[in-house]
Amino acid sequence: MKINAGTLQGYLVETFENARDHASEPPQLMLLIEQMDQIFQREIFAQDFEVHPTACLLVMNAYTMLLSAVRQALWGMPYRRIQLHAQP
């Protein structure tokens, strides 16, 4: 079996082009994603309130996971480029 996964450089070029296209002409679904971001910005980050540091860590973790999920959805899974070839 031979595995062809492409190169890191090739993947970075593809993901950059895809992200640039979405930034210049966002699809309709981006409105929903932007609204989720606004919830974090308005309801959490704009407030000044006392909270346990663990809660702050969990909020930042949730926001980072949201950003990561958006990035992965927009850029595509790297696994789509992996091809397996059976050798005779």
pLDDT of 64 strictly over 60: yes
User: Which range among 39-48, 56-65, 77-86 shows the weakest confidence by mean pLDDT?
Assistant: 77-86
The residue type at 14: E
Residue 82 neighbours by CB under 8 Å, 6+ apart: 3, 4, 5, 6
Average pLDDT, the chain: 80
Q: What six digits make up the tokens of 30?
A: 């981006």
Which whole number is the average pLDDT over 4-24? 79
Instruction: For residue 27, give the nearest of 83, 58, 70, 80 by alpha carbon.
Output: 70
Containing H/E element for 36? helix 29-39
